[in-house]
Chains A and B, each alone.
Chain A
Amino acid sequence: MGKKVIINDVTLRDGMHAIRHQYSTDQIARLTRAIDDSGADIIEATHGDGLGGSSIQYGFSKESEEDIIKTAVANAENAKVGVLLLPGIGVIEHLERAHDWGAQVARVATHCTEADVSEQHIKKAEELGMDTVGFLMMSHRTPPENLLEEARKMESYGADTIYVVDSAGALTMDDTRRRVSLFKEYLNSKTQIGFHGHNNLSLGVANSIAAIEEGADRIDASLAGMGAGAGNTATEQLVAVMDRMDIDHNLDLYKTMDAAENLMKPMMERPVQIDRLSLTLGYTGVYSSFLLFAERAGREYGVDARDILTRIAEMGAVGGQEDWIIGVAQELSKEKQLNA
């Protein structure tokens, strides 16, 4: 394969979920330097739920948005710094500020069927001259043909790159191939295609490779998989496989391995791994950041967190609806008492 795959590192953004948004500026600085030095092209740094995400609903960040972004910008020599924005949570003013602080990549994220809420934000990012990405979350929830329609909307607003985002780590390799190949076939040839995976079904690397084989230009990855649920596609694992398959990229295998092992893993509060809960996320198709919320609610209300996630999946919750979890835990606890 001729072209180089662009790696968008999400250790500092999706990884925020796994550490309850508590990275310190010192940790952000050290991680940024290591990721930048290993050759990643883009480093995304915000609250896990994007700009404006710091809240009671999702958890408050330890550091301010300004400090998170400025620290990443100050410590990235080669990589561009990116920010995530979910319309409904973040607003255009946040994006303008992030741009002032040095962010160069804007990823505007919507649920896979709601692309039309991203119009004003994508247009603003383009106007600011940012590398603008449309990010279709929970892509497993809609058939590939519908996902393409939504991608076309984001493309028409001006997005340069459109992502298939497997927020729940629920896509199989065929599911991934169908979505990416439709984008490749029917989107404008200048539009780049990206894939964001989660490892809940142990398919993070496999799906990323499938996406590359179908023509994806950008892949999201994080050190040691640091991210929501069972984590994202682990950078060092992806790099090892890409090297074996002669897929071209800008990363150094040993440097990613060392950063994952020496720097990232010691910072983890809870091992980012496939366990019964994160596996349930992938199996039932629930947004990965619900993991820690369901775990806590399960403990508090004395119910099996897997039952909470399963009920949440049946209700069709989308990203950002963490507030439904307590209600479901209360319901399950009441049902348990009635049946006792």
Chain B
Amino acid sequence: MTNEKIKCAIIGSGNIGTDLMVKLLRSEKLEVTALIGIDPESKGLKRAEENGLVAISNGIDGLVERPELADIVYEATSAKAHLHNAEILKDLGKKAIDLTPAAVGPFLVPSVNLKEREIPKLDNVNMVTCGGQATIPMVKAVSDVLPVDYAEIVASISSRSAGPGTRQNIDEFTVTTASALKEVGGAKESKAIITLNPADPPILMRNTIHVQTAGDAEAHAGAIKGSLERMLGNVQGYVPGYRFKADPVIKGNIVTVSVEVEGNGDFLPEYAGNLDIITSAAVRTGEVMAESMLKEGVAE
């Protein structure tokens, strides 16, 4: 039982795909077998070969040719690519964990809505965005205490950690994060802002979360702070570098929380906590998926 693992593959050999590979190599539930890219010269694919993975350089066609490589497929390309790949993965009977803002499947934030009983029913889940993974838990922590009329988040990430995919599709980041703040965080209305900061040495990923409650938040300050602390612990369970940057401020009906994310330094250095928070969430999701598949005897 302990040695049984579910096979998985990663599509996308950029920053996110490579960081994900490093993390999956440590997993006790998942065996990462292949990294799929489109450029045989890419650093990510070279690194995959060095680690004994199958490096596929003809995109998803390579996976269609060798479907036995994986039962779970991580998508770390772009929203556009995933819209194309999602259909193919479904036809192949693979489970997809999508790290692009495509939002084909339902949003998943492990500390909020990763339910073991429901996971076997899902064949495609979406990991929102790095900003969403870092902020939605805090909005949920407040909405567990009081109804939330409006949630607004500001994610600051280091320019060096934002690859070309993120830059060319910055609207998808804000739009997807804002909808997940409502759907998963429980806010009625929402807004997401992202800023890229080129400071050198690079800044750690930092997020400010403003939550406007329906009732007087100050009157429930104790309960709200307790809920925020518990949620912080939950997220730290899979992202150790997640912490409060400043003391939460509660004034009238506004709760302001500031968190920073120090990365594990697996692929990019520690400042790139924005990679870690989404790849760690994706690994945790895959592991829960793998456990349920093992229980059901999917793996031979």
Contact = CB atoms under 8 A, between A and B. Distances in A.
A317 B200 CA distance: 11
A114 B164 CA distance: 11
A316 B174 contact: no
B196 A111 contact: yes
A113 B193 contact: no
B152 interface: yes
Contacts of A326: 246, 249, 256, 258
Interface in A52-98: 52, 55-57, 87-89, 91-92
Interface in A37-63: 52, 55-57
A248 interface: no
B122 interface: no
Interface string A301-340: 0000000000000011111110110110010000000000
Interface string A188-228: 00000000000000000000000000000000000000000
A111 B157 CA distance: 13
Contact of B197 (A52, A117, A120, A318): A318
A258 B156 CA distance: 43
A119 interface: yes
Q: How large is the interface on B (under 10, 10 to 19, 20 to 34, 35 or more residues)?
A: 35 or more
Q: How large is the interface on A (under 10, 10 to 19, 20 to 34, 35 or more residues)?
A: 20 to 34
Interface stretch (B17-25, B165-173, B220-228): B165-173
B258 A88 contact: no
Interface in B116-134: none
B212 A113 contact: no
Interface in B162-193: 164, 167-171, 173-175, 191, 193
B85 interface: no
B191 A114 contact: no
A91 B197 contact: no
27 contacts: A55-B191, A55-B193, A57-B154, A57-B208, A88-B170, A88-B174, A88-B196, A89-B193, A91-B171, A111-B195, A113-B159, A114-B159, A116-B164, A117-B196, A119-B168, A315-B199, A315-B203, A316-B198, A318-B195, A318-B197, A318-B198, A320-B193, A320-B195, A321-B154, A321-B156, A324-B206, A326-B256
